[in-house]
Structure 1
Amino acid sequence: MAAKSFLLGTGLPGVGLLDSVVFSKVKDATGGKLRICLNGGGPIAKDTQRFISMSIAPMIGGYGLTETAAMGALTDPLCWTDEALGEIPGSVEVKLVDFPDAGYHAKNNPPQGEIWIRGPPVTGGYLDLEKETKESFTDDGWFKTGDIGEFDHKGQLRIIDRKKNLVKTLNGEYIALEKLESVYRSAEVVANICVYAATDKNKPIAIIVPAEPALKKLGSENGCSGESIEQLVHDEKLQGVVLKQLQDAGRKGGLQGIEIIDGVVMSDEEWTPQNGLTTSAQKLNRKGILEKYKKEVGEAYKKSS
């Protein structure tokens, strides 16, 4: 992986040899004919995107919303990058609008702000919902996505926040929940994660669905009692080990002090649309998750203080 990444970055020959000798075995596991992968459902860990792109086929990113008929941004497979979602399709125009409360301004370098989209694919409003339509659409056709983005030096769009997932903590600083989740998701023990930040606390708490094999391995290595995931998630010693692993992942991912989690809650139940903890598009139902683990989150905050 390191050799292929180096060769691609420098333009030196040898990529074909690595593909035929090493990566062909990985490609065969997906049928051997996959040329491009597309991720458009939500953020994906960079390590995952890079692994798939290097070992199987370029994984490109797409961005759009139901209201914009999926138009927003799309990576050009011939100009692959894991640093941005890509360029703006010709059917729409995109602009960034200041969100001063969190320090996002179109005059920043790089330009930052709430993403507004306009064009033929954008709907005219919500049926029979006049109030919601006025809140989300301007008179001259712009749709306010609620997403915070920035343009890189190539004009490619990158999503960096979401307005409703920006939480102002006790120290007056904003925490971006989705950004934190994308970083902490790189920890081996995490299968799914929801970061919660209370407005009367300084630091956030992570609620995770642990990856069972990784959790059992950690439990075995640290002499924790219990064999089933239902037992392990309640082991206080193991909770401390998992918390440290997540904190290390946060620091490695470049998070600031106020973004490092202060506690962790582990779930013994997978989050699915059937139990109401994710949507049908596999996005987190934050309200439902917090309601279900409200007691455990309170206990985690007590331990941290």
Structure 2
Amino acid sequence: MSMKETLLGYGLPGAGVLDAIVFKKLKDATGGRLRIAFNGGGPISIDTVKFISYAITPMIQGYGLTETSAMGAIQDPLEWTPYSLGDIPGCVEVKLVDFPDAGYYSTNDPPQGEIWIKGDAVTEGYWQNEKETKEAITEDGWFMTGDIGEFDKNGHLRIVDRKKNLVKTLNGEYIAIEKLESTYRSSPLIANICCYAQQDKAKPIAIVVPAEGPLQKLASQNGIKESSLETLVHDEKLNGVVLREVQKAGKDGGLQGIEIIDGIVLADEEWTPQNGFLTPAQKLQRKMIQEKYKNEIKKAYGD
């Protein structure tokens, strides 16, 4: 994969040979004729984008909201990169507005700020809800997304944060919850994760739905008798081992000291739209998750 990334990055021949010899079985597992994959439902880790793109087929990404008719940014397959969401569609305008509290300014290098979108694709307001409309849409028609973005050197948009998921911790610094979750998901132990931070605590913790196979393997490696997932998640020794493994994934992913989780809660059930922990679009229902595990969160913080 590293060799293919290098060849494609420098426009050198040879990637097709790797596809035919090294990656053929992976391609065949998806039918063998897959030409392109698309992600637009939510954030996805760069490592996942790279793996799918180099081993199977190019994965392009897009960005938009219901209020903008899904318009925001879209990747051109001929300008593919795993690091951005692509160029701005012709039907909308996008600008970045300063968010001083967290140090995001349009004068930064690269330019950063809250993403505002305007154009024919953008809604005029929420149905019979003037209060929400005034809070989200300016008088001259700009929709304030709440997402923090930046423009790369090619003018392509990249999401770096979300205002409502920026939490100021005890030391006065902001941490980006979704960024942490995206990084920690690189751990094979994690099937799903919800990071949580409090203003009176120095570091975040994580509520994790563990991947059963890797969790049982880790338990066996540490002398913990293999058992059901429901039993393993309550084993204090295993919790400590998992915490260290997830912390390592965060450090390997480039997270700073204040972004490394200080505690972990292992969930004993899968999160689905049916049990209320995910939206139909597979996004976290944070309030529901935090309410469900409020006692475990206190324990993880040592309260």
TM over 0.5: yes
- 1:199 is displaced (CA, Å) by 1.1
After superposition, where does 1:1-305 map in structure 2 within 5 Å?
1-302=1-302
CA contact (8 A) 1:99 1:105 kept: yes
* Distance in 2 between residues matched to 1:21 and 1:104, nearest whole Å: 46
Structure 1 SS opposite 2:241:
helix
CA contact (8 A) 2:167 2:176 kept: yes
Deviates more, 1:15-24 or 1:47-56: 15-24
* Distance in 1 between residues matched to 2:296 and 2:90, nearest whole Å: 48
- 1:142 is displaced (CA, Å) by 0.5
- 1:3 is displaced (CA, Å) by 2.0
What code does the residue aligned with 1:196 have? Y
How many percent identity over aligned positions? 69
What code does the residue aligned with 1:100 have? P
- 1:10 is displaced (CA, Å) by 2.5
* Distance in 2 between residues matched to 1:9 and 1:155, nearest whole Å: 19
CA contact (8 A) 1:98 1:113 kept: yes
* Distance in 1 between residues matched to 2:151 and 2:43, nearest whole Å: 17
- Cα RMSD of the aligned pairs, angstroms, is 1.0
CA contact (8 A) 2:114 2:149 kept: yes
What code does the residue aligned with 1:248 have? K
* Distance in 2 between residues matched to 1:15 and 1:181, nearest whole Å: 32
CA contact (8 A) 2:190 2:210 kept: yes
Structure 2 SS opposite 1:302:
coil
Deviates more, 1:290-299 or 1:14-23: 14-23
CA contact (8 A) 1:225 1:235 kept: no
CA contact (8 A) 2:117 2:144 kept: yes
Deviations 1:208-229 (A, max 9, x none): 0000001000000001134110
CA contact (8 A) 2:117 2:142 kept: yes
- 1:81 is displaced (CA, Å) by 0.4
Deviates more, 1:247-256 or 1:201-210: 247-256
Q: Which runs of 4+ in 1 moved over 3 A?
A: none
What code does the residue aligned with 2:8 have? L
* Distance in 2 between residues matched to 1:243 and 1:80, nearest whole Å: 35
**Would you say how many aligned residue pairs link Structure 1 and Structure 2?**
303
* Distance in 2 between residues matched to 1:97 and 1:5, nearest whole Å: 34
Structure 1 SS opposite 2:159:
strand
What code does the residue aligned with 1:5 have? E
What code does the residue aligned with 2:22 have? V
CA contact (8 A) 1:205 1:262 kept: yes
* Distance in 1 between residues matched to 2:101 and 2:3, nearest whole Å: 44
- TM-score normalised by the chain length of structure 1: 0.98
Structure 2: segments with no counterpart, 5+ residues: none
CA contact (8 A) 2:209 2:269 kept: yes
- 1:83 is displaced (CA, Å) by 1.0
* Distance in 2 between residues matched to 1:255 and 1:301, nearest whole Å: 20
Deviations 1:2-33 (A, max 9, x none): 22122212222211111112222211111111
What code does the residue aligned with 1:112 have? Q
